Amino acid sequence: DWNSGNVIAEQVERIRQQVGTGRVISALSGGVDSAVSTALVHEAVGDQLIAVFVDHGLLRQGEREQVENDYVASTGVKLITVDARETFLEALAGVSDPEQKRKIIGREFIRAFEKVQADLVAEAKAEGEQVRFLVQGTLYPDVVESGGGAGTANIKSHHNVGGLPEDLQFELVEPLRTLFKDEVRAIGRELGLPEAIVGRQPFPGPGLGIRIVGEVTADRLEILRAADAIARAELTKAGLDDEIWQCPVVLLADVRSVGVQGDGRTYGHPIVLRPVSSEDAMTADWTRLPYDVLSKISNRITNEVKDVNRVVLDVTSKPPGTIEWE
């Protein structure tokens, strides 16, 4: 008889015991795990906690506002946003290789976070205190996986926004360590977090940076963000969110094809829709979306998004395809 209220009470008590009067920082990614772990710690220690949100410019439409407005309004958490969009774009300039992109994004994320962290540590010190704790949204499956039993080869270097360097001088606070995703969502709802955050489908730490096949530029991000917003809106409108595990939307930035629109020839980029059904993302099948929904998404994207003149559907299972394209 699992009960989210009990788990919250128990975790709050534990966090208080661990942290005492110490200061705590937390990195928010906009994802479910960091949102719920941060909210739990805030419930336990209030303003001893400061949350940090790094805007790397690779977010989807509305995600920063969700965190800055809705999340803060529902939790009352103290939040610092770091606008690192320029830094990330500069670091990614000229880079097309997926693994290199992932490494750069991971590295820049850590740098951005360490900068704020250093400021916070200095500020605390000036007040005769210390920042001793760091919140991580580690879930039970993460604990099991990194225990090594899984035997999966490292196919892609996964970058979790929580994946901070090991030499950090902090003690970790990990209130979700014994929980599964659906339990974490239940706790988030109980804590009053916005549904748009609690019910969010998985989104990779490197964000849209690994959904542009080719170099990441500001223009391309804008195109992809617009196409992604349309696909998400239409899938939600069609009531398909629970049927789909996630639906990456990918821009083939280095591919162009000929099209015709109005009375002119176009030479634009394809957008790929990658709807998948899955239990745990280890394996997946492509979701048989209704044709009329696909048609609506395709029409809207080609009409509303500049430089996109074709929408294609990825009908590959995992394996052999991974869920993301990079």
40 near 8, Cβ under 8 Å? Answer: yes
Contact segment (CB under 6 A) with ligand XMP among 14-22, 38-46, 120-128, 200-208 equals: 200-208
Contact set for ligand XMP, span 18-77 (CB under 6 A): none
Q: Residue 30 annotated as binding?
A: yes
Query: Cα–Cα distance between 100 and 116 in angstroms, integer?
Result: 25
Q: Which residues contact 64 (CB under 8 A, 6 or more apart)?
A: 30, 53, 55, 81
Q: Is 281 in the site for ligand XMP (CB under 6 A)?
A: yes
Q: Is 87 in the site for ligand XMP (CB under 6 A)?
A: no
Longest dimension (CA), the chain: 70
Tokens of 27: 């990195």
Choose which of 23, 159, 232, 274 interacts with ligand XMP (CB under 6 A). Answer: 159
Give min distance, CB of 174 to ligand XMP, in A: 16
Q: Is 268 in the site for ligand XMP (CB under 6 A)?
A: no
Q: Which residues contact 222 (CB under 8 A, 6 or more apart)?
A: none
What's the Cα-to-Cα distance from 207 to each of 31, 39, 216, 245, rounded to whole Å? 11, 22, 11, 16
Written as one string, the DSSP assignment of 240-286 is -TTT-SB--EEEETT--EEEEETTEEEEEEEEEE--EE-SSSSSBEE
Q: Is 318 in the site for ligand XMP (CB under 6 A)?
A: yes
If DSSP codes are grouped into helix, strand and coil, which group holds residue 82? Answer: strand
Choose which of 108, 142, 174, 324 interacts with ligand XMP (CB under 6 A). Answer: 324
Give min distance, CB of 319 to ligand XMP, in A: 9
Q: Residue 35 annotated as binding?
A: yes
Q: Is 246 in the site for ligand XMP (CB under 6 A)?
A: yes
Q: Is 232 in the site for ligand XMP (CB under 6 A)?
A: no
Choose which of 48, 160, 298, 309 interacts with ligand XMP (CB under 6 A). Answer: 160
Query: Cα–Cα distance between 313 and 213 in angstroms, integer?
Result: 16
Between residues 7 and 134, which has the closer beta carbon with respect to ligand XMP? 134
Choose which of 115, 156, 256, 296 interacts with ligand XMP (CB under 6 A). Answer: 156
Choose which of 22, 141, 199, 202 interacts with ligand XMP (CB under 6 A). Answer: 202
Q: Residues annotated in the binding site for ATP, as ranges? A: 29-35
Where on the chain is the footprint of ligand XMP (CB under 6 A)?
156, 158-160, 202, 204-206, 246, 281, 318, 322-324
Q: Residues annotated in the binding site, as ranges? A: 29-35
